[in-house]
Amino acid sequence: MADPWIEEHAAGLAARAERDLEALVAISSPSGDAGAAEEVIAVATALAPDDAEVSRVPCSSNEHAADLVLRVTGAGSRRLLLVGHLDTVVAHDAHVAPHRIGERMRGSGTIDMKAGVALSLGLLRALSGHPELGEAALLLVNDEEWRTEPFTHVPRFEGFDACLCFEAGEHDPDGQDAVVVRRKAAGSIRVAAHGRAAHSGSAPDKGINALLALADVASLVAACHAPAGPSRLTAVPTILNSGTALNVVPAHGELVCDVRADDLAALRGVLAVIPDEVRGARIDAQMQREWPGMDAIAASAPVLAAATAALGRPVVAAQRGGASDASHFAATIPVTIDGLGARGGHAHHPDEFVDLRSLRPRAEVALAVARAVLMDT
């Protein structure tokens, strides 16, 4: 039998989350489009608790719309930070409007992560008025999907008792509700090659082929790949662009590689193997999108134990390789728990969906975790 506070709020939170999800997904909000961000922020603000204080804070990325912070306060002492993002990777011309097929809601951004935003808004409403609450702040950012600048929000929330992030939820192999308490560090290595153009038929050897240079760099990066190694490093070349015409030796090109490991030092080790010159081409390599690792296993264990007791079923710890804004907060807010969103699949894909049957159990998990933090477990 679940705790009465969880029982009081779970059904209504889940039912409203489905409606709020549809309203959020109806707005196409690709990362970097400031106008679209303003539209979806207007919707999120309209869905906020009536007593929420609304503020806009500068986005970490230049030329993006300001991020949104919604706050509710109370007479208690406990402070919770809820985190989500409103941007998607889907361009306007590829946006899929929300539509229900059986027990699934499909649409761009459903699972990554507008369902999580809908659940976080519901949790914020439930927290309002809780006797133990001092402050709950919901931070919704507009640049999570493609941020190349340092994340700027950590100092704003130092001293909070917990950070709860609403990226997609999951089951463990035994079908139990899981939340994410460990993530890899992640980064993107961007490599530019500067060669020399020449006619590929009459004078190919007078050129310096940037494409071949980048192919060699891609092989060097791929050779670092060691997922079974001590840092669990993955190093994957993902994008290669070079050449302007079929009969010209490529003079310029760019390679992007996705690198992930338990710590940032391992990622920088990959960057270090890239030389300044390859096949005569000048090479410029730099790390972008550095995301720190996150390990909140020990700090979150008492919270998950209390949440399990309050819910009457297990809430278990999981780890995930994908990056999340939760990782930025973990160094200053030890109790950082992610993966509190709904379950679904096909993120960044036209068939992206949320399993609507998961909204009620995931609402219960979020309420149970928040209750455990409020009760100072």
pLDDT in tens, the chain (377 residues): 789 999 999 999 999 999 999 999 999 999 999 999 999 999 999 999 999 999 999 999 998 999 999 999 999 999 999 999 999 999 999 999 999 999 999 999 999 999 999 999 999 999 999 999 999 999 999 999 988 889 999 999 999 999 999 999 999 999 999 999 999 999 999 999 999 999 999 999 999 999 999 999 999 999 999 999 999 999 999 999 999 999 999 999 999 999 999 999 999 999 999 999 999 999 999 998 888 999 999 999 999 999 999 999 999 999 998 889 999 999 999 999 999 999 999 999 999 999 999 999 999 999 999 999 999 86
SS3 188: strand
**Crossing angle between the packed helical segments 297-311 and 359-374, to the nearest 10 degrees:** 110
Displacement of CA 362 from its chain's centroid (Å)? 18
Contact 109, 96 (CB under 8 A): no
Which residues have C-beta within 8 Å of that of residue 322, sequence separation ≥ 6?
167, 183, 186
Query: What are the residue ranges of CATH 3.40.630.10 in the chain?
Result: 4-184+293-374
Contact 138, 121 (CB under 8 A): yes
Contact 193, 256 (CB under 8 A): no
Kind and range of the H or E element at 13? helix 4-25
Fold category of 4-184+293-374 in CATH:
Aminopeptidase (3.40.630)
DSSP string of 131-165?
TTEEEEEEEEES-GGG--SPP--GGGGTT-SEEEE
Displacement of CA 374 from its chain's centroid (Å)? 25
- Distance, CA of 243 to CA of 134 (rounded, Å): 58
In 3D, which of 220, 280, 284 has the Cα closest to residue 253?
284
DSSP assignment letter at 284? E
CA distances from 210 to 1, 38, 173, 249, 260 (A): 65, 41, 46, 8, 26
Count Cβ neighbours within 10 Å for each residue of 316-326 and write b for 16 or more, e otherwise: ebbebebbbbb
Query: What are the residue ranges of CATH 3.30.70.360 in the chain?
Result: 185-290
- Distance, CA of 293 to CA of 188 (rounded, Å): 14
Which residues have C-beta within 8 Å of that of residue 124, sequence separation ≥ 6?
48, 49, 52, 70, 72, 82, 136, 138
Q: Which CATH architecture has domain 185-290?
A: 2-Layer Sandwich (3.30)
Whole-structure pTM over 0.85, yes or no?
A: yes
**Crossing angle between the packed helical segments 34-46 and 4-25, to the nearest 10 degrees:** 150
Contact 57, 134 (CB under 8 A): no
Contact 157, 144 (CB under 8 A): no
